[in-house]
Chains A and B, each alone.
Chain A
Amino acid sequence: MAVVQPDYSSTPRGKTDAARHRRKVKEAIHRNLPDIVGDEAIITRKEGQVVKVPIKGVKSYHFIHGQTAGEGGGFGSGESQRGKVIGRRPKQGQGQGGKPGGEPGTDYLETEIDIEEIIQMMLEDLGLPNLRRKEVRETVIPKGWTFESIERSGIRPRLDKKRSIKEAIKRTEVLIGALMEQTGRAEEECRRALVAAKGDSGVARELLQSEEPLPDTSDEPEYLLESDDLRYRTIREDVEYQSNAVVLAMMDVSGSMGTMKKYFARSFYFWMLSFLRSIYRTVDIRFISHTTEAKLVDEYEFFHKGESGGTKCASAYELACELIDTEYPTSRWNVYPFHFSDGEDWDPDRTVEAAKTLLAKDPAALGYGEIQTEYSASVLMKALEQGLRLQTYQNDGFLHYEGTVNQTPVLGVILRTRDDLYPALRTFLKPDRV
């Protein structure tokens, strides 16, 4: 017969190789974290939505023709109207446009991924695997006193009456059981004998064994407290454990802060919040926008509205101080003030002073991100560097500033392109800082 049905119960190699491919995808995500971190789709995603991340590095590479720059193309059929839009394709990270060659669907891969998974990978990347530090990050808040345990000795005022009576009842019932066993009399007789004997089991046994009628004890108390029964409470200081963090997001919204600069700030805050959420139980964020004056705004206004006018960064730091005093005392909150600006400050000296005042309030860390372009006249980073005695560090072309004031870490990062985002986050997330 030409048509046969052979037995194919061999091991499925498809699955094994598919697993190897998936592992490579994961590695590729890891490698492309800097790209993914800057991906707009992630930051603008809706709550709980899974993010699709385009993956580079698991394609099969070979020489293919490209079209003219930025344009992919191909052939299709069934549509005669020129100019008609027949579909869309999401962008692949920062990659060049252009559909690679004649094998659609095989080379272009997208994978779905959780924000948590990305964060976990970033932490691994930072050498902080499985960061479970919610407990470590707890703040102790006194709440007066509370009872701790029950002891056999203590002072009269802390006598626990209920517990003591329970003990008496327990003891009496045990004695009655023993009398029943020893004398063979009924439970009720034993109880009466014990009451008549005022709790003394020896006397009660004699009463039962004498075969005389038991005295009437209906008026006598059934249970008697002895000193053995007494229980006392001990107390200790009461505290509450809280694990709260608040990000005081400050941003310069003056005319010189363009959309791209705001996008950097937004990305940075997004990831900062995501991280802090994996560490603290409660994470708040407050938005302070400033030009020459600072004000509290909501998230939308913070990222979308710009104002004309000059720049006095000090105003934001002063408002942050006020917020700490009124709403987020550092005794109960881990406060992370972080400021983004293009550094064109009108009065940098005053800003340094304001930053020092803020640092005196003992926040968890203070950060400043300067978004520079070729043409910006940035002065603030320099001023902070001198005023707070920051050291400069450079690795892989990424420049940042670090220092400590009153044991509070201070961090300065300079962002020029989207590629700086990831190193900036890495710097911020160094183990000792968060």
Chain B
Amino acid sequence: MQRTDLKRLNDADQLIREIATDLGLEFMPQEFDVVPAQKMLEIMAYRLPVNFSHWSFGRDYEIERTKHEHGYAVPYEVVFNSDPCRAYLMDTNPFPIQVLVMAHVYAHNDFMKNNRHFQNSRRDMITTAATAAERFRGYEEHYGIDAVERVIDAGMAIQWNIDPTEHIHRQSEDEVRQRLYGWSRELAPSGPYDDLIPDRPKPTRNQKRALQKRTPPEPTPDLLGYIINHSPRPLEEWEKDLLSVIKSQAQYFLPYRQTKIMNEGWATYWHEQIMQRLFQKRFLTAEEHGYYNLYNARVKAHHPRNLNPYLFGYAILKDLEDRWNKGRFGPEFEELTDAYTRDQWDTGLGKGREKLFEVRRTHMDWFFVDEFLSREVVENLDLYLYLEREHPSYYEVVVAETEWQKVKRILVQSLMNSGVPRILVTDGNYRNSLQLYLEHAYEGLPLQDEYARKTLELIHYLWDRPVYLETNEPYNDKTRGKLYAVDESGVHVRTE
């Protein structure tokens, strides 16, 4: 890229910053690095500008590269929740696309600065990952690539089995025990409704004695953390380091997963607003406007086999803004049966923008979709649930459900816990012999069997003693219990 272009990009940056501020966005200092395509694809595959080596990143790099080389051109954007906020631009993109990405990034920046789920992230993750990568290379040299890889394989398998709210109540096992003894309270009494919270029944002597030995003292979703701290293998320090880095990166990326639809919808909503202003100001030419339209349409395209978060989040936000502008919410509106009145309903409330800013501060996808996905959006987007029908040598993908309430119910269910099955560690000393007992908090969806087996094998590699997983599965219109047991001889399954 030539200097002049860089100058024009800086002009664009300045202008976008002014417009975004004027529109009410509020962001951390923003930095853009212009990088070659290969570096861009690498960052996308490795999830961070510099990260440790692993074949799965290599695989993703190859997938990205193939897509890129086959002209599956999208306005690549990568932005990190760091302070200052770091984003990357691909040097081969045409200028209007760079501007589009920059506008988009400023909105992400605003979202990450203000959404409460991003508030506990390590905003130094870029440098942390780079130094970890350096350490990992040392481990590879010292302990061998294969040994390092096996631990990373296992760690990545359970990277999402962490406690999403760990930052709120980080407690040691002893602290948890004390809380359970009733010696300390989980939350200091501070609200007007505190008297409504029932006191926990005081544990008996025997219960206390049992509690003293039980580990974890209460079931925890932090499987990865539990293994790091309690594996009887035992884990070497370098192995713990590998796993801890994986855990901290998972924690860092968790808010992205939890807010993917909102975050992309938000950025798309705002880049359109900002771009409009730029065109009004004649900063971009008519030809560049054409480019922008083409790419913007690609960003918001329908995807037949997955929900495009850019389109979906954008549609809900637009709808939300419209509804709060016109007062189309609340029982008075919801209970309207006359289609015409419903269609024409407008109280002139004018609180659309205000509502948008409020929602971006408090929500994550699960609640966002549950609360705000309306019949109009489902029907305007022609949202559907598809299923795969089995044929002798292939699966046929069929539109199975379009009725808005059914589609919404299943969609919301799939967003719960950002789609990760909740696995709880209930006993780390099962049968008093350091065996690991896990329970799947079954909520109607069974575990995918092949993936469960392979994941359990990887957990067993880290734990080294037998590992059990209790779950349920649908069986003849009912539910039956299912127990996985893993030891050196492999995975065994017992059903009730």
Seen from chain A, the residues whose Cβ lies within 8 Å of a Cβ on chain B are 1-6, 8, 12-22, 24, 40-41, 58-68, 70-91, 95-102, 104-106, 109
Contacts and interface: CB of A to CB of B under 8 A. Distances in A.
B268 interface: no
Given A70-B390, A73-B385, A12 B451 contact: no
Given A4-B6, A77-B384, A78-B381, 14 more contacts: A2-B30, A4-B33, A5-B91, A8-B39, A14-B65, A60-B56, A73-B400, A77-B303, A77-B382, A81-B399, A86-B398, A89-B395, A100-B448, A106-B60
Nearest to A8: B39
B382 A63 contact: no
A17 B55 contact: yes
Given A77-B302, A83-B399, A20 B157 contact: no
B447 A75 contact: no
Contacts of B157: 60-62
Contacts of B38: 12, 14
Contacts of B407: 75
A82 to B, nearest CB: 5
Interface of B: 1, 6, 9-10, 13, 29-36, 38-39, 41-42, 45-46, 53-63, 65, 89, 91, 156-161, 302-308, 311-312, 379, 381-390, 393-402, 407, 411, 414, 419-421, 423, 440, 445-452, 454-455, 458, 474
Nearest to A12: B38
A68 B477 CA distance: 11
6 contacts: A14-B57, A62-B159, A63-B161, A63-B451, A64-B421, A66-B449
Contacts of A81: 399, 402
B397 A82 contact: no
Contacts of A105: 63
A112 to B, nearest CB: 12
A74 B308 CA distance: 12
Contacts of A85: 396-399
Given A60-B157, A77-B307, A88-B394, A8 B446 contact: no
A18 B308 contact: no
Contacts of B160: 62-63
B58 A17 contact: yes
Top 7 nearest A-B pairs (CB, nearest first) are A17-B58, A78-B302, A66-B448, A14-B61, A18-B58, A61-B454, A65-B445
B390 A97 contact: yes
Contacts of A73: 385-388, 400
A14 B42 contact: yes
B450 A79 contact: no
Contacts of B46: 13-14
Contact of B387 (A2, A66, A72): A72
Residue among A40, A60, A71, A79 with most chain B CB within 10 A = A60
Contacts, number: 258
Contact of B446 (A21, A61, A66, A77): A66
> In this complex, which of B157, B451, B458 has the most chain A Cβ atoms within 10 angstroms of its Cβ?
B451
A382 B252 CA distance: 66
Contact of A6 (B35, B41, B305, B382): B35
Contacts of B402: 80-82
A179 B254 CA distance: 103
A240 B25 CA distance: 87
Contacts of B455: 61-63
A62, A84, A100, most chain B CB atoms within 10 A? A62
Nearest to B398: A85
B283 to A, nearest CB: 15
B39 A86 contact: no
A60 to B, nearest CB: 5
Contact of A71 (B32, B57, B388, B420): B388
Given A65-B445, A80-B382, A80-B384, A75 B411 contact: yes
B451 A62 contact: yes
B383 A20 contact: no
Contacts of B394: 88-91
A3 B41 contact: no
Contacts of A89: 388, 394-395, 397
Contact of B33 (A5, A79, A106): A5
Max chain A C-beta neighbours (<10 A), residue from B159, B312, B420, B440: B420
Contacts of A91: 393-395
B59 A77 contact: no
A2 B55 CA distance: 34
A96 B302 contact: no
B338 to A, nearest CB: 24
Contacts of A75: 306-307, 383-386, 407, 411, 414
A86 to B, nearest CB: 5
B451 A19 contact: no
A63 B438 CA distance: 12
Nearest to A99: B388
B304 A76 contact: yes
A404 to B, nearest CB: 38
B393 A86 contact: no
Contacts of A109: 59
Contact of B393 (A21, A41, A59, A96): A41
In this complex, which of A5, A15, A90 has the most chain B Cβ atoms within 10 angstroms of its Cβ? Answer: A5
B451 A88 contact: no
A79 B306 CA distance: 12
A126 B62 CA distance: 32
Nearest to B62: A18
